[in-house]
Amino acid sequence: MEVRACAGNMDFACLWLGLLLPVVATLDFSYHHQEEMEEFLKNVAQNYSSITHLHSIGRSVKGRNLWVLVVGRSPKEHKIGIPEFKYVANMHGDETVGRELLLHLIEYLVTNDGKDLEITNLINSTRIHIMPSMNPDGFEAVKKPDCFYSNGRENGNFYDLNRNFPDAFEFNNVSRQPETVAIMEWLKTETFVLSANLHGGALVASYPFDNGVPATGTVHSRSLTPDDDVFQYLANTYASRNPNMKGDQCKNKMNFPNGITNGYSWYPLKGGMQDYNYIWAQCFEITLELSCCKYPREEKLSSFWNLNKASLIEYIKEVHLGVKGQVFDQSGNPLPNVIVEVQDRKHICPYKTNKFGEYYLLLLPGSYTLNVTVPGHNPHLTKVIIPKKSQDFSALKKDILFPFRGQLDSIPVSNPPCPTIPLYRNLPSHSAATKPSLFLFLVTLFHVLFKYSKM
């Protein structure tokens, strides 16, 4: 799609364009409770209807809507080749900075479309889903804000939502909460590629796994995914652009080199959302701890926005990392439910094409062999080279023609999910990714000395 940005001798036309563009009342730097948040989101959806879509993915224990605002050129539906990105905040109701940051991010995106080249390109090339509050009941339950702990951490049934998801390493026999179920169902409806979950109480970008077994490296006090290089890169992308995360960190708390950490190295966590996203939704998610104080004073919110704005934007752009494409049969029909993975980094729950035959693989620059597998047929191997400087706002595009003549009737239209059970329990306790390092030894030492409860 053509970029609609203003430059050169088009200044006069752009002035008129600016006058014609819809305007949303400036969002103040204060805490917005449910009614105020809903009013803001509905105004944005009404005034920017061509690039936004507001919908609720479910309701909280106490019946509050779980709102998601989508921003993109095709906000109401997925378009082939356009990756899906999401931000989720306020999972713990008393961790409030992320909630306000996402409201300001929404305002920044919609008001800069057509004016700022980077934002315009981002909206042209990406479908961005923003959920300011996953736990509105918890937020409303906080009567006396506190930096360390408030009653609103849990949901309306007093469950910690970041301990409430199925776990791939051990059974998590807890009552699945409405907010958790809503997220799990939402993940089935979209081909999410990249995500971040915004928390508070520390300053660090934490990446999977949060839980683990010896096969993922727990004997070395860490738990690494097959895509550890990508996750470290993603975490560093965010942290390196936030001066506080890479510099001044929280006093009397654990410090993190470069502002990033492996989740398990920090402390093990069962039933977390980022592990669930990666294993069962094919979505790379990291956890962003963005404030030492969980519920800081309102007058500090503008500072948090200034510290995080560049990181929030840059992180969205990373959804275009690596390679994407479609898998076709010899007749040119897209093939759903086909396994497409890098040969030496297979996932415990294989990543498959969606109903459009699409695949998205987040990869760093380098040479890879893709293993394309159709049930009942021999694997098809194809090489791909991700250049050091990928195309702006687009992953490398590589469509794959599966070398099989005739109808592939054996491929079901739907994508049967892997069972939500501890898939890692029976793996052998060795892995190329589990060799110890001095960095992880030091992280473990700090963990023992300064361990405290999950943000």
What does the DSSP assignment read for 212-244? --GGGTGGGT----TTHHHHHHHHHHHHTTSHH
- Cβ atoms of 166 and 211 closer than 8 Å: no
My answer on whether omega of the bond before 169 falls inside 30° of 0, hence cis, is no
- Given the structure tokens 């702006």, which residue do they identify? 392
- Six-digit token string for 394: 């687009």
CA-nearest of 107, 108, 160 to 138 is 160
CA-nearest of 108, 95, 135 to 296 is 95
Pairing of strands 323-328, 127-131: unpaired
- Cβ atoms of 363 and 393 closer than 8 Å: no
**H helix or E strand, kind and range, residue 194:** strand 192-199
- Cβ atoms of 371 and 342 closer than 8 Å: yes
Q: What is the pLDDT of residue 218?
A: 94
Residue 379 one-letter amino acid:
P
**Tens-level pLDDT at each residue, the chain (455 residues):** 434 444 444 444 444 444 455 555 689 999 999 999 999 999 999 999 999 999 999 999 999 999 999 999 999 999 999 999 999 999 999 999 999 999 999 999 999 999 999 999 999 999 999 999 999 999 999 998 999 888 899 999 999 999 999 999 999 999 999 999 999 999 999 999 999 999 999 999 999 999 999 999 999 999 999 999 999 999 999 999 998 897 667 876 777 889 999 999 999 999 999 999 999 999 999 999 999 999 999 999 999 999 999 999 999 999 999 999 999 998 999 999 999 999 999 999 999 999 999 999 999 999 999 999 987 888 999 999 999 875 678 999 999 998 765 455 555 544 457 999 999 987 765 443 444 444 343 433 444 333 334 45
Q: What is the pLDDT of residue 437?
A: 41
Assess whether 289 carries a catalytic annotation. yes
Of these residues, 289, 318, 341, 358, which one is catalytic? 289
Q: What is the pLDDT of residue 15?
A: 43
Q: What is the pLDDT of residue 23?
A: 57
Residue 233 one-letter amino acid:
Y
Contacts of 325 (CB under 8 A, 6+ apart): 358, 359, 397, 398, 399, 400
User: How many angstroms separate the CA atoms of 437 and 441, rounded?
Assistant: 6
Q: What is the pLDDT of residue 246?
A: 78
